[in-house]
Amino acid sequence: MLQSAEGATKVEIDKAFPVKGVGDVLLGIVLSGEVKVHDTLMHTSGKQVAIRSIQAQDEDIESASKGVRVGLAIKGIGYEEFEKGDVLAEQQIKKIGEFEFDIAISDYAGIKVDELNGMRLLLVHNFSFAEAEISQTAEAYLQGSKSQFLLLMATNSC
Residues in the chain: 158
Tell me what the mean pLDDT of segment 20-49 comes to. 95
pLDDT at 130: 73
pLDDT at 31: 92
**Residues 48-61 pLDDT 10s:** 999 999 999 999 99
- 95-133 residue pLDDT tens: 766 666 666 667 777 777 677 777 777 777 766 777 777
Note the pLDDT of residue 40: 97
Domain locations along the chain? 10-89, 107-153
Computed over every residue of the chain, the mean pLDDT equals 81
* pLDDT over 90 percentage in the chain: 51
Distance CA 151, CA 82 (A): 26
Give the pLDDT of residue 100: 64
When pLDDT is cut at 50, 70 and 90, the band that residue 11 belongs to is very high
- DSSP structure string for the chain: -PPBTTBS-EEEEEEEEEETTTEEEEEEEEEESEEETT-EEE-TTS-EEEEEEEEETTEEESEEETT-EEEEEEESS-GGG--TT-EEESS-----S---------GGG---GGG-TT-EEEEEETTEEEEEEEEE-HHHHHTT-SS-EEEEEPS---
CATH class entry, domain 10-89: mainly beta
Beta-ladder partners of 46: none
User: What are 63-93's pLDDT values in tens digits?
Assistant: 999 999 999 999 999 999 998 889 999 998 8
Is residue 2 pLDDT above 50, yes or no?
A: no
How far from each other are the two terminal CA atoms of the chain, in whole angstroms? Answer: 30
CA distances 50 to 35, 115, 134, 155, Å, are 11, 49, 41, 31
